[in-house]
Chains A and B, each alone.
Chain A
């Protein structure tokens, strides 16, 4: 079996007639200035999606994106250009533009390439061709039938199946020569239910870095039923209360709390610049002692996982918060060098046409001691939020929000009426200190998270056990509760 680097070289360079020796010499030219790092990032990605609506598979699309990004780094400065042709002429032109960042002559030596074969966290399979187009179309129709059969209130069903296959290769003046072959698949089901003149939407989805062979109707039916269930719950929802209250967050996807409340604030760029509310706090208590939060890009087949990051560094498990103490930041090469530390393998970019930044992979809180039932029964009056849409954070002030899409009142230790979707708002460092119980039921999300930063989207994972936050503001409409 050939390794990833051979496959990447064959796929990215061979059709263009380029050799790795030519690329090495090009890097030499790029780096005849006072550069700290010269990087070439080759990428070839293919994506396909199929969508069902009104009971028929009416949309299908396919896209191919190929190109090379050239980055020249000198101190805190970065020059960047890219080409959507992988040809020597186009790369040379991009390199000429990128190195304009460095002015004076120098003689940075290009290190000999070290072929780096990272541990494989997922098979390099091409998911697009893993099942036939006929099978894909038939599956979508079957999912539609399952959702409609679930309840007569179901009026509209939308199903989308997406698969992509990305081959990347990184060659850098520090000797990096790595590649990654990244499959990514997801299935999304969304329904609209209508009863007594009231309409609601419910959605569910799942995916990861694998092929489509597990996408069968037995598996997909669970997703369809979950979409219908959440829609039906919301049909009966009452207005949510407004103001500060105790909130119990369910396990799994509600871990978006950690992504927003601490994850973004612990990215190396914000902390190198001193613009994060967590800047300069390493070694200090920033969360309740019950909290241990990690970012782990090495989990098998997870949506946020990578074999190597987009600078060719092997991904790792980074402990961000241990028993409430801030222990680490997420780093790429540039920020690690400027902060005198090492890259944690968290450099990510949306494509060859974007600059990499420190980003999260799979971010979650480790399990605690409490039984989830015990956590709920400890709350006299509050809210139990089990599913969320997205979130957002201002890393400078630490303010963050995340929006509940399925939540219930807790009254006298019991989960009672469902409440309408509402936004929760808090300040990261304050909310993390108000976590008073952590469940023993750690779960990761189902694999459909997308993280946006500076206009770039990357797939991520989140997770957590059931948590109790003693006080956070809930943005409902009912005052005076």
Chain B
């Protein structure tokens, strides 16, 4: 399984590294005590992986990655200092901890600082079964990517060029420990295969891509299927048209709906709320979206992309609802943001874990039927989202919906509105959630948005 000039990381079993990393955490926490920290928390990570890309049937890049580093947050009373390094030898530990302590001497006291309460750490660690190494050689990884790209290139003669296909496998170990005596760890893998193709006709070139990603190599979509899907999507975009400016129903594809849901989660996140940088201030218990929308998280799903037993503060994660039939049930809070708001952590330091979108579900085809005439968005461009006001204006491309069917490709238009109105205007959601993403969004139909085109 190891070629002569093989992956230097192949053969590393992170199950064996976990113990050493836990000792490293203990060593760093000891050092923090030595420099006078009243409390401290440490994260150590070790990653390794391989990624092989091919283009036009030839290997383009073989990249090996191998990283190890740590970060420390220490507190001297109510003052905080943070430092991190890619070095974990003893001299670096001393220097990095001293740097954090020095910073804590100059920052100002903040009563909301400090570790999460000890009783919020997980009492036991569920086995999330996230570690499934893929002992693939660079040659075999290249072969897989070649099959993927070849299937795409052969799909249609209008596929004129390619950015290639890529196989990647990554493994990571994260250990978190704090001066309460808690230390938690998890090891995980993440494998993927992707393909990006270019098609051309008299109206010019278009690109599109497809990918598969999973914690288990055996669950990846077949290489040929990934290439074919990339090809189908690329061909479908040829000869796009602009559409007239006006107000129309808009269907977000599952991939684009992920972002739309992400903006909603951002607006009910502690950091945005205590900074008053959200358009959904004081929204707990109030109606912020259509009753057809519910959002919840399931952090303990086995083998899932977003699973974790504790958050970035070491707080145990739990199943919970954020939005129930349009009403805010929980904010997303870290220990610090919760204290700023006079609330308690929801175990969301670092974000959500396996976000599930539910509500009024209909078949994707029926969703297009309900839209009647409008836009099906498959790509959004730019950063035109104002988190303070909810104003939303982004570049878009996709397909025009006529009589409930996808009719022709559309590009060089924008869609705009205010997110407060957009979430209330959710008509229904599709039955096609994208399970590749931590936010498992299905397609979403919005009653009406402003399209700017010709």
B185 is an interface residue with CB less than 8 A from chain A:
no
- Known interface pairs A58-B107, A477-B416; A77-B61 also in contact (CB < 8 Å): yes
Chain A hits for B68, CB < 8 A: 84
Q: Is the CB of B416 within 8 A of A475?
A: yes
Binds B, one of A313-321, A375-383, A394-402: A394-402
B384 is an interface residue with CB less than 8 A from chain A:
yes
Separation in Å of the A230 CB from the closest CB of chain B?
A: 12
Closest B residue to A99 by CB, please name it: B5
One digit per residue, 1 when the CB lies within 8 angstroms of any chain A CB and 0 when it does not, for chain B 186-225 equals 0000000000001000001111000000000000000000
B84 is an interface residue with CB less than 8 A from chain A:
yes
* Complex: A244 Cα to B242 Cα, angstroms: 11
A153 is an interface residue with CB less than 8 A from chain B:
no
Q: Is the CB of A77 within 8 A of B245?
A: no
Instruction: Count residues of A near B (Cβ-Cβ below 8 Å).
Output: 83
Q: Is the CB of A421 within 8 A of B207?
A: no
Residues of A31-60 contacting chain B, CB below 8 A: 50, 53-54, 56-60
One digit per residue, 1 when the CB lies within 8 angstroms of any chain A CB and 0 when it does not, for chain B 1-17 equals 00111111000000000
Q: Is the CB of B62 within 8 A of A101?
A: yes
Q: Is the CB of A473 within 8 A of B413?
A: yes
Q: Is the CB of A392 within 8 A of B381?
A: yes
* Complex: A426 Cα to B242 Cα, angstroms: 11
Q: Is the CB of A84 within 8 A of B61?
A: no
* Complex: A242 Cα to B382 Cα, angstroms: 17
Instruction: Count residues of B near A (Cβ-Cβ below 8 Å).
Output: 82
Q: Is the CB of A60 within 8 A of B107?
A: yes
- Known interface pairs A100-B138, A397-B207, A475-B415; A77-B58 also in contact (CB < 8 Å): yes
Chain B hits for A58, CB < 8 A: 80, 107-108, 110, 113
Q: Is the CB of B83 within 8 A of A80?
A: no
Separation in Å of the A107 CB from the closest CB of chain B?
A: 18
* Complex: A79 Cα to B388 Cα, angstroms: 45
A277 is an interface residue with CB less than 8 A from chain B:
yes
* A240, A427, A475: the one within 8 Å of B394 (CB): A475
Q: Is the CB of B381 within 8 A of A79?
A: no
Question: How many A-B pairs fall under 8 Å by CB?
Answer: 267
A64 is an interface residue with CB less than 8 A from chain B:
yes
Q: Is the CB of A243 within 8 A of B85?
A: no
One digit per residue, 1 when the CB lies within 8 angstroms of any chain B CB and 0 when it does not, for chain A 137-170 equals 1000000000000000001101000000000000
Closest A residue to B84 by CB, please name it: A63
Binds B, one of A90-98, A300-308, A341-349: A90-98
One digit per residue, 1 when the CB lies within 8 angstroms of any chain A CB and 0 when it does not, for chain B 382-409 equals 1110111101011101000000000000
* Complex: A201 Cα to B64 Cα, angstroms: 42
Q: By CB atoms of chain A within 10 A, which of B8, B110, B412, B417 has the most?
A: B412
Chain A interface residues (CB < 8 Å from chain B): 50, 53-54, 56-67, 76-85, 93-94, 96-101, 133-134, 136-137, 155-156, 158, 192, 194, 198-201, 240, 242-244, 273-275, 277, 353, 355, 389-392, 394, 396-403, 420-423, 425-427, 473-479
What are 21 contact pairs spanning A and B, CB under 8 A?
A57-B107, A63-B85, A76-B60, A77-B59, A80-B63, A84-B68, A94-B8, A100-B138, A101-B62, A200-B388, A201-B388, A275-B161, A275-B207, A392-B395, A397-B205, A399-B397, A399-B412, A402-B382, A425-B381, A473-B242, A473-B413
Besides A355-B63, A422-B384, 18 more A-B contacts (Cβ < 8 Å) are A54-B110, A61-B81, A61-B82, A62-B83, A62-B99, A78-B61, A81-B8, A84-B66, A133-B102, A244-B454, A353-B65, A392-B382, A394-B207, A421-B384, A425-B414, A474-B414, A478-B450, A479-B452
